[in-house]
Amino acid sequence: MASATRTLTRALRSAPTTQTLRSATARRAAAQGFQQQARRGYSNQAPKFTSNNSSYIWGGAAAAGLLGGFSYFVLSGQHDTLAEEPKQFTPKAEDYQEVYDAIAQRLIDEDEYDDGSYGPVVLRLGWHASGTYDAATGTGGSNGATMRFAPEKDHGANAGLKAARDFLEPIKKKFPWITYSDLWTLAAACAVQEMGGPDIPWRPGRSDRDVSFCTPDGRLPDGSKEQNHLRAIFGRMGFKDQEIVALSGAHALGRCHADRSGFDGPWTFSPITLTNDYFKLLVEEDWQWKQWNGPKQYEDKTTKTLMMLPTDMALVKDSVFMPWVKTYAEDCDKFFEDFSKVVVKLFELGVPFTSSEKERIVFKRTE
Ligand code: HEM
């Protein structure tokens, strides 16, 4: 994908990504740390951890960890009779931090993908796993990771997400005790943080489910539609107007791919760094229909290299959405604050947690 746009975005990303790009020394140190961590066993004996109660951890993840440990214990199929000694591993907050660190390191290492990071597509995986939630029936949501299976993995909206699932496979192999559904949302939280976004407090507690829990097609939004559709889709999950706008700010990241959704191009000039540029561009830039042999989308008049979906432009056309677009365009801190809250809510939709909100973990970022 050596388009002029990509060249431009790759060139420009160096400026706003100073937070996210690391020095060679830091990378090496992190890699060494990762290798050391990777040597630790996980299943046959409960590792003896000493919790140092780091300030970045809000609370122990013990209760939720027990659930995760139980899932592994059951799913591993190593326990045949009740008389056997349980081979149980109870992950703690620091174990999830290790998973976070391994994902963050992999995001740094695999920098040849797309605009230089798997971060955007990993975030999209977490969102599409969660965004199937239906509040009325309690079905869908991130609990289950049913996108591993057909038909859900083949739903049109999920085109291209195999890249993110495959990217996370070595992490799952390294930490087999974590469920896919916990892994996907943890990875998405990691992607947001590592791309310079706000903290996304996270807690475990999701279990993987079988193919019978796949959700029907059509639960995720269709970019060719407008505000009524957005309200119907996000309203079904339990989101209000302000939350729809805040969530849409994720489109500061990544791009559309003609061979996936059919749409093409990035929304901003810094697609691997989270900023409020999506909102700024919506407000400040002039947008016109792109003349091309593809689905209806907008392009910016100035460079013709950026894009907006009809659902993105609906945010400025709608009198209730628009004030929120302006608020976030003017105040990145406010956007980050609201984005964090609404993404935490998104990733927790329909999850039967046994832990409390206070037990969410705030992961330490890579240096
Ligand atoms: C508001 C309704 C939404 C619509 C209609 C929509 C639609 C789309 C489409 C069509 C793509 C391009 C896929 C491709 O061709 O690769 C995309 C990409 C993306 N979306 Fe959304 N999306 C919506 C909401 C969200 C939300 C709520 C998030 C996260 C919180 C999100 C995060 C992303 C990211 C990060 C990408 C880039 C993926 C990549 O670079 O591979 N989107 N979205």
Catalytic (active site) residue 155? no
- pLDDT score recorded for residue 306: 98
CA-nearest of 299, 342, 300 to 324 is 342
Nearest CA to ligand 1 atom 11: 256
* Cα 134 to Cα 306: distance, rounded to the nearest angstrom: 33
Which residue segment(s) compose the domain that 285 sits in? 227-342
* Cα 207 to Cα 75: distance, rounded to the nearest angstrom: 10
Is 219 touching ligand 1 by the criterion CB < 6 Å? no
Nearest CA to ligand 1 atom 7: 223
Q: What is the mean pLDDT of residues 254-282?
A: 98
CA-nearest of 253, 285, 247, 283 to 267 is 253
Both structure tokens of 125: 């995986």
Ligand 1 mutation target, pool 114, 158, 241, 256, most atoms within 8 A of CB: 256
Asked whether the beta carbons of 242 and 324 are under 8 A apart, the reply is yes
Hey, is 352 helix, strand or coil?
coil
Nearest CA to ligand 1 atom 29: 250
Q: Within a domain: residue 5?
A: no
- pLDDT score recorded for residue 88: 81
Q: Within a domain: residue 4?
A: no
> How remote is the CA of residue 251 from the centroid of ligand 1, in Å?
6
CATH code at position 169: 1.10.520.10
Q: How many domains does the chain have?
A: 2
Nearest CA to ligand 1 atom 33: 124
- pLDDT score recorded for residue 85: 67
Q: What is the pTM of this model?
A: 0.82
Question: 355 with 242, same domain?
Answer: no
Which atom, in ligand 1's list, is nearest to the CA of 257? 15
Q: Give pLDDT tens digits for 51-75.
A: 333 434 444 444 444 444 444 444 4
Exposure b/e, 132-163, CB count within 10 A at least 16 = b: bbbeeeebbbbbbbbbbbeebeebebbeebeb
Compute, in degrees rounded to 10, the torsion defined by CA atoms 243, 246, 247, 248: 120
DSSP for 197-261, please give it: -----B--------GGGPPPTT-S--TT--HHHHHHHHHHHT--HHHHHHHHGGGGS-EE-TTTT
Question: 176 with 289, same domain?
Answer: no
Is 276 touching ligand 1 by the criterion CB < 6 Å? no
* Cα 231 to Cα 238: distance, rounded to the nearest angstrom: 10
Compute, in degrees rounded to 10, the torsion defined by CA atoms 220, 223, 227, 228: -50
Is 121 touching ligand 1 by the criterion CB < 6 Å? yes
Q: Give pLDDT tens digits for 315-334.
A: 999 999 999 999 999 999 99
Is 295 touching ligand 1 by the criterion CB < 6 Å? no
Question: 206 with 237, same domain?
Answer: no
